[in-house]
Amino acid sequence: MNPINGIFPLLTAEKSIIIIPHKNPDADAIGSTLALFNFFKKIGLNATVVSPNLFPKFLNWLPNADKIIIAENNIDSTSEIIKKADIIFCLDFNTLSRIDILENCVKESTAIKVLIDHHQEPSEFDFLYSDTEIPATSQLVYHFIELMDKEDLIDKEIATCIYAGIISDTGSFRFSSVKPSTHKIVAKLLKKGISHSSIHDNLYDNNTIDKLKLLARTIDLMDELKEFRTCIIHLNKDDLLKFNYQKGDTEGFVNYGLMLENCVFSVALFEDLHKNLVKISFRSKGNFDVNAFARKHFDGGGHINAAGGISKENMVDTIQKLKNILVNYKSLLLEV
Ligand code: 5GP
Ligand code: MN
């Protein structure tokens, strides 16, 4: 593995560069990839963003979001584009299994592979820029540009993408992962002319009535397990369909569990509309490590206080499995 600055001299105009976020990308994944894309365009590079699947509609307004190629819409032509790539940047994930239908294609590619990410236990890449202490990959993109000594070229569009990613992965600066460097960078982004309140409005005050009613349903179904300081929320297919579920509608719902007094562990389970599986989000407070929990029991991963995973069992069995596992974590949860 090489130090990240080794990639800088290889970034030349004749190279074809692909930038890929993880499947089901969130605002940090799309914010960081578009920040890097807009920056590469600015310095005259030939870059393309390819997302494994569709991103939520509430990210459509990010500068150049309309240029993102959605691989699942046409996997054959996307594979051709990736095959011709000279350099592939992977952003906001730590292992190629996180890009789903693009995994094999990227693995087989002879392109130079670069990882910019903040998840635990990154895999081997040709160039690795990973820092689990940094709250958002979008912040790492800022540092990457800084390392290239091209901070001056960050314009309002690039700054907007970085800011959107940072507020999303920091819960608008409230998570413990926020660093002094995060605020210092944000001060610089503000000086680039971004409109922080409209970015916030675009991300969070842009809901359909169906989504808010789905949230109300979720909270109605909330299950507080006081003895484990845990909250479980779940949504079945029927509820998702009743409220006309659109991609991204359940983002952030898991955080509502942590609003309960004394709750340190929130689990949100959502039935997949197309496959027989349950997608799970985990959030915690303090030192309860949900990355380890998700890896060990639900084929997932993430960060210490925010992780995800899946279950191939049905909703009832998954919740029962979760409750059985919780017994082994009781003392850890009470110590937080
Ligand atoms: P979310 O709960 O918002 O989907 O994801 C929280 C964090 O966990 C994100 O950083 C995300 O990248 C990671 N994550 C979510 N689902 C999975 C998964 O299935 N596997 C792994 N390794 N990480 C995940
Ligand atoms: Mn992230």
Kindly write down the DSSP assignment for every residue of 147-162, as one continuous string. Answer: HTT-GGG--HHHHHHH
Q: What are phi and psi of 279, to 5 degrees?
A: -90, 135
Query: What CA–CA distance (Å, rounded) separates 128 from 146?
Result: 16
Mutation to probe ligand 1, out of 20, 22, 32 (largest number of atoms < 8 A from CB) = 22
pLDDT score recorded for residue 132: 95
pLDDT score recorded for residue 1: 63
**Ligand of minimum distance to the alpha carbon of 22:** 1
Q: Which residues of the chain have pLDDT under 70?
A: 1
SS3 200: helix
Counting every residue written for the chain, the total comes to 336
Q: How many CA atoms lie within 13 A of 187 on its CB side?
A: 6
Q: What is the pTM of this model?
A: 0.94
Mean pLDDT of the chain: 97
- Residue 92 CA: which ligand 1 atom is closest? 12
pLDDT score recorded for residue 2: 72
Residue 203 is encoded by which pair of tokens? 């991300």
Q: Measured in angstroms, how far is the CA atom of residue 254 from the centroid of ligand 1?
A: 12
pLDDT score recorded for residue 3: 85
Residue nearest to atom 22 of ligand 1 (CA): 301
**Ligand of minimum distance to the alpha carbon of 94:** 1
Q: Which whole-number Å values give the CA distances from 248 to 211, 265, 266, 271, 320, in the listed order?
A: 9, 22, 18, 14, 26
CB of 85 within 8 A of CB of 126? no
Question: What are the start-end ranges of the E strands in the chain?
Answer: 16-21, 46-51, 69-70, 87-91, 112-117, 127-130, 223-225, 230-235, 265-271, 278-284, 301-302, 306-311
Q: Ligand 1 pocket by C-beta < 6 Å: which residues?
A: 22, 26, 98, 281, 300-303, 306-310
CB of 15 within 8 A of CB of 85? no
Query: What CA–CA distance (Å, rounded) separates 194 from 204?
Result: 17
